[in-house]
Amino acid sequence: MKYVAWGILLVLAILWLLAIITGMIVAFPFGLIGLLGLFAMGLLFAKVLKERMENKEDDYYDKHVDQ
């Protein structure tokens, strides 16, 4: 059941993001500012996600430290 909810949220987030990008393209040239902002946020998100996936110390504490 949990995965169904996450799947629905993922689909809605993708549709929402596509709607925002479409709106910014329609608002050309002013929409370029928003597109650049979204691109920068995407790069930062990818960097954080990559660092988290490669961090073995966080994995160790998740598995071995009592909460």
What pLDDT, in 10s, does the model give residues 29-63?
999 999 999 999 999 999 999 998 888 887 777 78
pLDDT band at residue 67 using 50, 70 and 90 as cut-offs: low
> What is 24-51 written as a DSSP string?
HHHTTTTHHHHHHHHHHHHHHHHHHHHH
CA distance 61 to 59: 6
pLDDT (average), residues 1-16: 95
The amino acid present at 41, given as its one-letter code, is M
Give CA–CA dist 30/67, Å, rounded: 48
Whole-structure pTM value: 0.67
